[in-house]
Structure 1
Amino acid sequence: MTTPLTVDLRGVSRWYGNVVAVNDITMSLGAGVTGLLGPNGAGKTTLLHMMAGFLAPSKGEVLLGGNPTWRNPDVYRDLGLVAERESVPAHLTGWEFVHASAKLHGLADPAGAARRALELVEMTEAAGRRLGTYSKGMRQRARVAASLVHDPAVLLLDEPFNGMDPRQRAHMMELLHSLGDQGRTILFSSHILEEVEQVSGTVQVIVNGRLAASGDFRKIRRLMTHRPHVFVIRSTDDRRLATALIASPAVTGVSLGAEELTVHAGDYGTFTRALPKVALAEGIRVRQLVPSDESLESVFAYLVSA
């Protein structure tokens, strides 16, 4: 297991002239995989660049393991970064590119480290080819290998799945899960909801440069008490169950379909506790209960519109 390191942002802002890119963000990232989510232009890349020490915060501080990232080259012993902007020397082979990264880190066995990193991203067979001949997805994997070559405790990835085909994407998601389970602190940014939902349940949502929500997106959804929760139910008698539920104070509306019952409830916990009691009293067997708006998409749409 890797010794966990935290990334802490305390009241961080960054502005360019009169344009505020990041506005007063405080967050703490620990071991595991966290998704940094937001629409294009929300400030995700600026935030990652400050975490990586490429940008100074205009206000506040960014710390890695308790040490500032700005003007502190020592943080790169523990930090790996895959930036969104792709800039690789096309004349180098995949092996030369990753091996050079290992040598720049001053590793005792750069060749061994490069070999292990290429194996992690399934690029061993293509390692002898020049980067200029790679597909975009292959270049992405080579860049991930270069960022992992020194076995960092913290990994920052900006839109890491760009250009990857479905198989490559699935493998990279599995790799990030595995690295997070080993105790690494991993933050990856994306504007694609499906990517974040598959890789991490924990999110930091950035909207217009501000931190709009933080934590498990399912828990965030359940804290939205003023927005009705929607459930799809299948039972032995949907019509009679609908009649019984509409009388419950936990239910704000019902809709009866051909094969299912849709219920709107004001509070998640109150409804899920009330449903078994109502079904038992009516002698109805509930076959399926599915929250239909607990997805990250539902949370994200609400936060952006708000």
Structure 2
Amino acid sequence: MSTLQIDHTSRWFGTLVAVNDVTMDIGPGITGLLGPNGAGKSTLINMMAGFLAPSTGTVSLDGQRIWRNEGIYREIGLVPEQEAMYDFLTGGEFVRANAELHGLADARGAAARALETVEMTQAADRKISTYSKGMRQRVKMASALVHDPSVLLLDEPFNGMDPRQRMHLMELLRRMGEQGRTVLFSSHILEEVEQLASHIEVIVAGRHAASGDFRQIRRLMTDRPHHYAIHSSDDRALASALIADPSTNAVEFDTAEGVLKVQATDFDRFTTLLPRLAREHGIRLLKVSPSDESLESVFSYLVAA
């Protein structure tokens, strides 16, 4: 069983700080690295994989520094987000080449097993240029698994996959986690992490924002104030009814937009209260939309929490 250790690690590119003083341990099982686009997830994963050197701090595997450590590289498999591949090769040739780079005695056999694991055997003789995005993801996965690593790093692995492919990959990752491998995957989609990861690390603007199991992180997100924009047949009457309830702590009528802006502190209570109050007061709800439900707003709240 292997553990990745990130210790006060930063990485900058010129004046751009991509990762800023991050400390975390990633142990056996499935960990989700959650954060909005541009948060620094890919930079952090590339340092874990040994493709980037930290500007400061250390990234280690079981106490051994990863950067320029060939022995450690053999324990790590990486599925990068980038689409760049050798399109003139077949899928089988691509995976076999990676097996040969790792010096495997039976490169052909290892490649065949890895392709079978990701259900790409039938397409192994086709050129990568003919693959869909989901097929490219799967052949990258086979390439990462071909040397049977103890650590698997996946950067946005579900991009471009259809529902069946996603389910298959999720089952595969679950099995690997149950086998005691250290599996980390990044995502900016909360639902992906919810379905798969037992532990979550949250990165925002290069900083480590939160850490814990999914329920702990979800509770932080659910307990934050929720903002809604509401159009109704009688905004004034609805505002009076809502402000009288403890689930709502602010109501404002925006004359410029012609919308009622509501801040709710009790999400569960508010979502059942709103339709009931509208029915009791004879008010028609024309449109109810969250005004702060982007992941960026959620993560910003986590940073401030």
TM-score band w.r.t. shorter chain: 0.7 to 0.9
Shift of residue 15, structure 1, vs aligned partner:
1.3
Partner of 2:26: 29
State how 1:158-237 maps to structure 2 within 5 Å.
158-222=155-219, 227=224
Normalising by the residue count of structure 2, what TM-score does the alignment of the two structures yield?
0.74
Compared CA separation, residues 154 and 191, structure 1 to 2 (3 A): same
* Alpha-carbon offset, residue 27 of structure 1: 0.3
SS in 1 for 2:161: coil
Q: Does 1:102 align with 2:133?
A: no
Identity %, equivalent residues: 63
2:2 is paired with a residue of what secondary structure? coil
1:133 aligned partner: 130
Match of 1:52 among 49, 53, 56: 49
Find the counterpart in structure 2 of residue 147 from structure 1: 144
Counterparts of 1:103 and 1:75, CA distance in 2: 17
Q: Partners in 1 of 2:222 and 2:162 — Cα distance?
A: 39
Shift of 1:49: 0.8
**1:19 to 1:141, Cα distance in 2 relative to 1, 3 A:** same
Query: Which of 6, 9, 19 pairs up with 1:9?
Result: 6
CA distance, structure 2, for counterparts of residue 41 and residue 158 of structure 1:
13
How far 1:228 moved relative to its partner?
A: 7.8
Tell me the amino acid that sits aligned with residue 169 of structure 2.
Answer: M
Seen in structure 2, the aligned counterparts of structure 1 residues 57 and 183 have a Cα distance that, compared at 3 Å, is: same
Task: Name the SS for the 1:203 alignment partner.
Answer: strand
C-alpha contact 2:197 2:214 (8 A) present in aligned 1: no
The alpha carbon displacement at 1:79 in A equals: 0.4
User: Following superposition, which runs of at least 4 residues in structure 1 exceed 6 angstroms of deviation?
Assistant: 223-226, 297-300
Structure 1 unaligned spans of 5+: 230-245, 261-296
1:55-88 CA deviation, whole Å, 9 max, x = no partner? 1111110001211111112212100011111221
Quote the Cα distance in structure 2 between the aligned partners of 1:227 and 1:26: 25
Is residue 21–residue 208 contact of structure 1 (8 Å, CA) maintained in 2?
Answer: yes
Q: Superposition pairs for residues 255-274 of structure 1, below 5 Å?
A: none
Which residue of 71, 77, 80 maps to 1:80? 77
- Report SS of the residue matched to 1:46: helix
Q: Are the structure 2 counterparts of residues 254 and 207 from structure 1 closer, same or farther at C-alpha, using a change threshold of 3 Å?
A: closer
Q: Describe the superposition over 1:186-240 as per-residue Cα deviations: whole angstroms up to 9, x where unpaired.
A: 11111122211111131110001100001112123446897589xxxxxxxxxxx
Residue 94 of structure 2 corresponds to residue 92 of structure 1: no
Q: Distance in 2 between matches of 1:75 and 1:152?
A: 10
8 Å CA contact 1:221, 1:299 repeated in 2: no
In structure 2, list runs of 5 or more residues that go unmatched: 227-245, 247-264, 277-292
Q: CA deviation at 1:146?
A: 0.5
Secondary structure of residue in 2 paired with 1:129: coil
State the secondary structure of the residue aligned to 1:21: strand
* Partner secondary structure for residue 213 of structure 1: strand
Q: What one-letter code is carried by the residue in structure 1 that aligns with 2:33?
A: L
Q: Tell me the distance in 2 between the aligned counterparts of 1:68 and 1:201.
A: 26
CA distance in 2, matches of 1:202, 1:34: 5
Label 1:60 to 1:116 Cα distance change in 2 as closer, same or farther (>3 A): same
2:39 aligned with 1:42: yes
Measured against aligned partners, the alpha-carbon deviations of 1:86-128 in whole angstroms (never above 9, x if no partner) come to 2211111111111111111111221221111011100011111
For residues 221 and 167 of structure 1, do their structure 2 counterparts lie closer, same or farther at Cα, with a shift above 3 Å needed?
closer
Do the aligned residues in 2 keep the contact of 1:220 with 1:299 (CA within 8 Å)? no
Count of aligned pairs between the two proteins: 248
Say which of 265, 287, 299 aligns to 1:303.
299
The answer as to whether partners of 2:36 and 2:296 remain within 8 angstroms in 1 is: no
Measure the CA separation in 2 of the matches of 1:22 and 1:204.
Answer: 14
Q: Is the 8 A contact 1:217 1:299 kept in 2?
A: no
